[in-house]
């Protein structure tokens, strides 16, 4: 009983420390000329550096969704246009915002945790504090602002995913091009795109802050940096999945 209580207190302490960290990030901002260069550097590393893997995975995910939908809708009574409809709904509502965010939690989150954790181990963060710099604002704030570009990456994932589905359907013989495009236009609800982008903004904040928390508050040496990266990926993914359920219930339920 005491053992379970101890772990519950640890979780509560970690959650409280996380929200305190988020509050501290926005206090005592770094001078704008320095912050601007940091933000541009983070946009390049976090967003543009991830576009390749996002495009690659989205293309094949769209193709797989199309093929699986076509194989399950093999009745001659079911119009082929439903294949395009199902692909559009799957990619826009779930695969582009959520699946891409899980990938980013692994790629970007591990990078954030390891980079901040390495600075912690080598006492560079202590040096920033000695110079009177708000280290949390200096290290975490540029990452949060850079991740505001993340919806652009998800929009690209939506387009590439649907394009991959069209390629698989048209050239794989699963759905004629005209029928697939007709399905893409069938009962389109613009709010579904808005819903996807709302999720994306929330996930972007999570991807920027939870890995930063694990990197900033890690203890130990170089070995613990790797462990902190793994832990941050697990918890970032868990929070994304939980928030995905909550946001879906609130916005679409």
Mean per-residue pLDDT for 27-52? 90
How open is the CA angle 37-39-15, to the nearest 5 degrees?
140
Q: What is the pTM of this model?
A: 0.90
Looking at every residue in the chain, the average pLDDT score rounds to 88
Q: Is residue 67 predicted with pLDDT exceeding 50? A: yes
> Cα separation of 137 and 3, whole Å?
36
Q: Per residue in 69-128, pLDDT tens?
A: 888 877 777 788 898 999 999 999 989 999 999 999 999 999 999 999 998 888 888 888
> Cα separation of 49 and 220, whole Å?
29
Q: Per residue in 37-46, pLDDT tens?
A: 999 999 999 9
| Three-state SS letters, the chain | CHHHHHHHHHHHHHHHHHHHHHHHHCCCCCCHHHHHHHHHHHHHHHHHHHHHHHHHHHHHHHHHHHHHHHHHCCCCCCCCHHHHHHHHHHHHHHHHHHHHHHHHHHHHHHHHHHHHHHHHHCCHHHHHHHCCCCHHHHHHHHHHHHHHHHHHHHHHHHHHHHHHHHHHHHHCCCCCHHHHHHHHHCCCCHHHHHHHHHHHHHHHHHHHHHHHHHHHCCCCCHHHHHHHHHHHHHHHHHHHHHHHHHHHHHHHC
């Amino acid at each position: 009983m005491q053992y379970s209580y101890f772990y519950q207190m640890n979780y509560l302490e970690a959650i409280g420390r996380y929200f305190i960290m988020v509050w501290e990030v926005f206090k005592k901002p770094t001078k704008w000329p320095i912050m601007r260069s940091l933000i541009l550097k983070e946009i390049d590393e976090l967003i543009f550096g991830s576009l390749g893997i996002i495009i690659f995975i989205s293309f094949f995910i769209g193709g797989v969704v199309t093929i699986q939908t076509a194989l399950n809708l093999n009745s001659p009574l079911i119009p082929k246009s439903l294949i395009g409809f199902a692909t559009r709904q799957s990619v826009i509502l779930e695969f582009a915002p959520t699946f891409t965010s899980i990938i980013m939690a692994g790629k970007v989150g591990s990078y954030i945790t390891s980079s901040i954790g390495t600075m912690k181990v080598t006492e560079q963060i202590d040096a920033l504090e000695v110079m009177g710099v708000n280290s949390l604002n200096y290290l975490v704030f540029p990452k949060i602002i850079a991740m505001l570009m993340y919806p652009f990456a998800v929009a690209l994932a939506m387009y590439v995913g649907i394009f991959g589905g069209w390629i698989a359907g048209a050239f794989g013989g699963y759905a004629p091009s005209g029928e697939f495009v007709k399905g893409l236009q069938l009962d389109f609800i613009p709010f579904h795109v808005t819903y996807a982008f709302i999720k994306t903004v929330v996930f972007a904040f999570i991807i920027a802050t939870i890995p930063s928390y694990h990197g900033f508050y890690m203890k130990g040496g170089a070995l613990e940096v790797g462990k902190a990266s793994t832990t941050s990926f697990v918890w970032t993914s868990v929070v994304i999945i939980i928030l995905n359920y909550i946001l879906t219930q609130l916005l679409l339920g």
